[in-house]
Structure 1
Amino acid sequence: MKILNAKELAEVDENTIKKQNISSWDLMERAAKKAFESMKSYTSSKQQCIHIFAGIGNNGGDGLAIAYFLTQENNNVKVYLVEYADSKSDDNAKNFERLESKTKLEIISVSDENFQIELNPNDFCIDSIFGFGLNRPMPDFVQKLIKEINQSQTFRIAIDVPSGVYLDRIPKEDEEIFNADLTLTFQLPKLPFFLPQVGFNVGKLEIIDIGLDQETIDSIEAKVEYLNQNLASTYVQKRSRFSHKGTFGHALIIGGSRYMLGSVILSASSCMRSGVGKTSVLMPKIGHQNMINHRPEVMLVPHESEDFISEKNLDFEPNAIGIGVGISMESEAETALKFWLENSKKPMVIDADALNLISENESLLQLIPKNSILTPHPGELKRLIGNWSDDFDKIEKIKSFSKKFQLIILAKDSFSICVNGDEVFVNSTGNSGMATAGSGDVLMGLITSLLAQNYEPKSAAVLGMYLHGLAGNLAARVTSEESLVASDLIDYFGLAFSEIKPRTNVKK
């Protein structure tokens, strides 16, 4: 699912109106009706007061239309027209006139900071003041109003975009943003919804299909994609019934040190559960028995280093290598990492301490095979690419880094993003329970497995990111987010794969 900017979204609206031979007001009416239907399950009582704060543009027109639909079902509604400019848009004015002529609602004007509002904890507040076209700070009185609403205990719903959110930059620290419990956005998601600096203002996100012209959407060469199930399923390779273990590749996991052996056990277990034919592990000798006890299917690479990974000439050629988990920052680990980077001819998956060693030694960065997949968490990412001014700047810096070194960067976060040059994939799966030690080790093993199965590096990274989060969601339904641990994710890989495999109808 594409993520478009404000100009592109306006183009889609315009072409929809032309191609469907409807007016802009008809499209507004359709969108408002869909939003009204979606919010019904949240407004549980006719006695609860629903406060609608509508601006004077088209987003405000949506709010006024929603107010009309609510009154038709005898809801208790109060409407506040937030007049931040002198004139209304044409469609806004049409909905305003309908409310005045066909309902008994009093429409309260809000135009300065002297406005006082009384909100009860059981009330609802609907924000339709500013939409995706916001390009400058909101007037002071609007920010004061939003601050008061945010401080209330009401259930808050944003229409399309929470007021105060820009689509192309992060608001300054002193700018208010409507803090929604629920955002009902039209047709396509918006990038800031998934960025840490703004995303918490979105609350629960529902994407409402309002019938915008799909041909126009498809024709726009968007560089940002929202990775949902439909898109993720297109990356899944079919498995032939006439296969053997050699068909699905041989992965090598390199990791661990004396006091960090669990990470490599998690990665190896994850790799084995992700469809690979064979998994070999190079780890410190001290951990060999633990690996045999936990994962007897794994083949251990013999070597003499007791405490650290080491250099090793293999008697086999792995299809993919994952390296870095738990290797430590010691000089022995750095020497071994340099050896594996120099001698690997295929893209690798690089994580954890390997990333930290690389960030301290740029000569190692130059050795990484092209199209390798790096999986940093925020701290590791900052050490790799440097500081960023805001989340949009972070994405641009990741893109520059990816292009400069021809690497794929999977930046782990609340909503992880995968960057391949100018392509950006925003993940839709995952939850707070996955913010736990070992979760990244599981991801590394999963992606290494896919890479060994002959997935293209971008496909392995994108599909692995989605499956990892999906397994976390499935696990959390049973264990809860609070009690989730990394090994739980591996237990739900089977269900995750089953859920996204393309379905085929076979006639009997």
Structure 2
Amino acid sequence: MIKILSSKQIKDVDIYTIANEPIKSIDLMERAATNLFYKLINVHGYKKYFLLAGPGNNGGDAVALFRMLIESEIQASLIVLNETDNFSEDCLLNIQRLKEKNIEFLCCKTFFDFPKIDEESIIIDGIFGSGLNKPIKGFYANVIEHINKLPNHKIAIDIPSGLFSDNNRNNHGAIIIANETYTLQIPKLAFFFAENSKYVGDLSIVDIGLHPKAIELAETKYFLTEPNDINNLYIPRPKHTHKGNFGHTLVVAGNDGKYGAMVLCASACLRSGAGLVSVLTNNKGELVLNSSIPEAMTISNLSNLTHDDMKRFTSIGIGPGIGVSNESEALLLNIIKNYDNTMVLDADALNLIAKNRDILEFIPKESVLTPHVGEFDRLFGKCNDTLERIEKASEFCKTHNMLLILKGKNSAVIDKQGCVHFNNTGNQGMSTAGSGDVLTGIISGLLSVGYKPKYAAMLGVWLHGKAGDKALDKESYESLIATDIIKQLGSAFKTIRLKQHE
């Protein structure tokens, strides 16, 4: 897992690296710029670049990168922005290196001095870095707002200028709207919040050789899940087995007008490895299920099932399409009170809990709640931003010994210790009807197979997103539907198996 650290912690890691590698700060900046150079050329090649450098160390990175582009005979221009000639030491050293090598660049102290930028140039933003803690106003804001209006492709070094690394609640200043962000080894918490997505664009992590011990010692509750984490979680299927070895999931989903939710959830559960899947449904639902998923079994009534009867199910996925009637609430309570193992609760199960929060007290420990933003706010009250939701979810999971998945672009899996694991698979095409029903089925199936709740949630979210990404090989963002995600689950699983054999 990649640790997500605060801006202060990142500064401490830099200081530790400089002291214990040891390496001079100017040489660490040179190494960062070198790795940025290789990343840039690998992705965009020998195009025209226009670099913007501010007065701090982020500006120093941009100045060093500019020098490397020029020395490689790549077309590039640099403008150094500074109202007061107050530069950081390392930025000033890099500017001096340009002068020593007779490399021309422009300086700009007022917006009226700002030059025209060729539309073909890729703009590199190195105005302000992760240490920024005040909203950008005045001269720099005018520059940023001008840059944002230009049609050029834009790449931010480390962080889009103007964006705070951690908390942007009181940030009403100008922020660069980047197409890409090349962050320097340690991702910033703000990158994973929906409201900041338009600024960050596509995120890449560029290793700059920060001291591993410094990162190891830094304490955080925020993490980014890596492919290697998923490879380590995956449990290979043994050769000599039978269906009973992979559990029996009960799916409680669908109702009149919403039987599709039942089909999606049950199908995803089977495709995720569950040995047996039973679906609680009525006569109409039984006809739908038998004609669409012959591998699934049906149950028409649970009212007479005892606590002992419920023990045959190794996991339960409940909520998609069940409705919020009094009958649905009674059914939910009956199941919860008679079941001891982990459950996955989604959609209308969450809406019913929002109506009657007393239900929370009966939910088995380590169960997984999977709300989208609307369902979350109904459960926990209206929130102003993603950080507030994450903070509420973290406290809830610690208090109630449960897990919660806040669904979105970077779905966050919050474990029972309150730690937050951001996912980086998936795409905007998955914002479609039934996508959440598929996720409920996947996690329920993984629980039946034998994954611990935390790992089922993390692996389930990753597989869900990866299958959605695989679906784009044939579909577009607009045409992708939930069934496409299910069809690609096999390919997503194979991605893990191939990695394990590398």
Q: TM-score range by the shorter chain?
A: over 0.9
Q: Quick one: which of 429, 442, 448 aligns to 1:446?
A: 442
- Find the counterpart in structure 2 of residue 437 from structure 1: 433
How far the C-alpha of 1:278 sits from its partner, in A, is 0.9
- Given the alignment of the two structures, is residue 91 of structure 1 paired with residue 90 of structure 2, yes or no? yes
Paired residue type of 2:381: G
What CA deviation, in whole Å up to 9, does each residue of 1:134-167 have, x standing for no partner? 1111242111110000001111110011101111
Paired residue type of 1:336: L
- Find the counterpart in structure 2 of residue 395 from structure 1: 390
- Would you say the 8 A contact 1:433–1:482 is kept in 2? yes
Structure 1 414/311 Cα, relative in aligned 2: closer, same or farther at 3 Å?
A: farther
- Would you say the 8 A contact 2:164–2:171 is kept in 1? no
Instruction: State the alpha-carbon separation in 2 of the partners of residues 64 and 353 from structure 1.
Output: 54
Instruction: State the alpha-carbon separation in 1 of the partners of residues 335 and 310 from structure 2.
Output: 15
Instruction: State the alpha-carbon separation in 2 of the partners of residues 84 and 464 from structure 1.
Output: 51
Structure 1 26/104 Cα, relative in aligned 2: closer, same or farther at 3 Å?
A: closer
Alignment of 1:33-432 (within 5 A): 33-41=34-42, 43=44, 48=48, 50-83=49-82, 85-110=84-109, 112-170=110-168, 172=170, 174-303=172-301, 312-313=305-306, 314=309, 317-420=312-415, 421-432=417-428
- Would you say the 8 A contact 1:55–1:84 is kept in 2? no
Does the residue aligned with 2:245 lie in a helix, a strand or coil?
A: coil
Structure 1, unaligned stretches of length 5 or more? Answer: 304-308
How far the C-alpha of 1:310 sits from its partner, in A, is 6.0
What CA deviation, in whole Å up to 9, does each residue of 1:333-389 have, x standing for no partner? 111111111111112100000100100111112221111100011100110111222
How far the C-alpha of 1:129 sits from its partner, in A, is 1.0
Structure 1 325/224 Cα, relative in aligned 2: closer, same or farther at 3 Å?
A: same
- Find the counterpart in structure 2 of residue 306 from structure 1: none
Paired residue type of 2:423: N
Name the stretch that deviates more: 2-11 or 115-124: 115-124
Instruction: State the alpha-carbon separation in 2 of the partners of residues 299 and 264 from structure 1.
Output: 12
Structure with more helix by fraction? 2
How far the C-alpha of 1:503 sits from its partner, in A, is 5.0
Paired residue type of 2:162: G
Instruction: State the alpha-carbon separation in 2 of the partners of residues 481 and 203 from structure 1.
Output: 16
What CA deviation, in whole Å up to 9, does each residue of 1:274-304 have, x standing for no partner? 111111111122110110111111111133x
How far the C-alpha of 1:43 sits from its partner, in A, is 4.8
- Would you say the 8 A contact 1:359–1:365 is kept in 2? no
Structure 1 125/341 Cα, relative in aligned 2: closer, same or farther at 3 Å?
A: same
- Would you say the 8 A contact 2:251–2:277 is kept in 1? yes
How far the C-alpha of 1:87 sits from its partner, in A, is 2.2
Instruction: State the alpha-carbon separation in 1 of the partners of residues 104 and 313 from structure 2.
Output: 71
Structure 2, unaligned stretches of length 5 or more? Answer: none
Name the stretch that deviates more: 453-462 or 387-396: 387-396
How far the C-alpha of 1:88 sits from its partner, in A, is 1.4
Does the residue aligned with 2:3 lie in a helix, a strand or coil?
A: coil
Does the residue aligned with 1:21 lie in a helix, a strand or coil?
A: coil
What CA deviation, in whole Å up to 9, does each residue of 1:305-347 have, x standing for no partner? xxxx867444762011111111011111111111111111112
How far the C-alpha of 1:189 sits from its partner, in A, is 1.9
Paired residues in the alignment total: 498
- Would you say the 8 A contact 1:311–1:336 is kept in 2? no
- Find the counterpart in structure 2 of residue 458 from structure 1: 454
Instruction: State the alpha-carbon separation in 2 of the partners of residues 139 and 184 from structure 1.
Output: 24
What CA deviation, in whole Å up to 9, does each residue of 1:173-230 have, x standing for no partner? 7421101111111112222112111122111211111222223222323211101211
How far the C-alpha of 1:86 sits from its partner, in A, is 4.5
What CA deviation, in whole Å up to 9, does each residue of 1:57-115 have, x standing for no partner? 111100000110111123333222221554211111110101112033133123x3444
Paired residue type of 1:249: G
How far the C-alpha of 1:505 sits from its partner, in A, is 5.9
Instruction: State the alpha-carbon separation in 1 of the partners of residues 37 and 106 from structure 2.
Output: 19
Instruction: State the alpha-carbon separation in 2 of the partners of residues 221 and 44 from structure 1.
Output: 38
Instruction: State the alpha-carbon separation in 2 of the partners of residues 486 and 43 from structure 1.
Output: 34
- Find the counterpart in structure 2 of residue 484 from structure 1: 480
- Find the counterpart in structure 2 of residue 29 from structure 1: 30
Instruction: State the alpha-carbon separation in 2 of the partners of residues 119 and 221 from structure 1.
Output: 43
What CA deviation, in whole Å up to 9, does each residue of 1:260-282 have, x standing for no partner? 10101111000001111111111
Structure 1 30/268 Cα, relative in aligned 2: closer, same or farther at 3 Å?
A: same
Structure 1 239/43 Cα, relative in aligned 2: closer, same or farther at 3 Å?
A: closer
- Would you say the 8 A contact 1:180–1:201 is kept in 2? yes
Instruction: State the alpha-carbon separation in 2 of the partners of residues 273 and 408 from structure 1.
Output: 23
Instruction: State the alpha-carbon separation in 2 of the partners of residues 42 and 278 from structure 1.
Output: 46
Structure 1 53/470 Cα, relative in aligned 2: closer, same or farther at 3 Å?
A: same
Name the stretch that deviates more: 142-151 or 242-251: 242-251
Instruction: State the alpha-carbon separation in 2 of the partners of residues 171 and 120 from structure 1.
Output: 35
Paired residue type of 1:497: F
Paired residue type of 1:36: F
RMSD: 1.9
How far the C-alpha of 1:394 sits from its partner, in A, is 1.8
Paired residue type of 1:475: A
Q: Percent identity?
A: 38
- Would you say the 8 A contact 2:80–2:106 is kept in 1? yes
Instruction: State the alpha-carbon separation in 2 of the partners of residues 425 and 43 from structure 1.
Output: 31
Instruction: State the alpha-carbon separation in 2 of the partners of residues 251 and 395 from structure 1.
Output: 29
Does the residue aligned with 1:35 lie in a helix, a strand or coil?
A: helix
- Give the alignment's TM-score, normalised by structure 2: 0.95
Instruction: State the alpha-carbon separation in 2 of the partners of residues 500 and 238 from structure 1.
Output: 10
Instruction: State the alpha-carbon separation in 2 of the partners of residues 91 and 315 from structure 1.
Output: 66
Instruction: State the alpha-carbon separation in 2 of the partners of residues 502 and 401 from structure 1.
Output: 37
Does the residue aligned with 1:31 lie in a helix, a strand or coil?
A: helix
Instruction: State the alpha-carbon separation in 1 of the partners of residues 45 and 188 from structure 2.
Output: 28
- Would you say the 8 A contact 2:311–2:339 is kept in 1? no
Structure 1 484/294 Cα, relative in aligned 2: closer, same or farther at 3 Å?
A: same
Instruction: State the alpha-carbon separation in 2 of the partners of residues 187 and 19 from structure 1.
Output: 18
Instruction: State the alpha-carbon separation in 2 of the partners of residues 213 and 122 from structure 1.
Output: 38
Does the residue aligned with 2:95 lie in a helix, a strand or coil?
A: helix
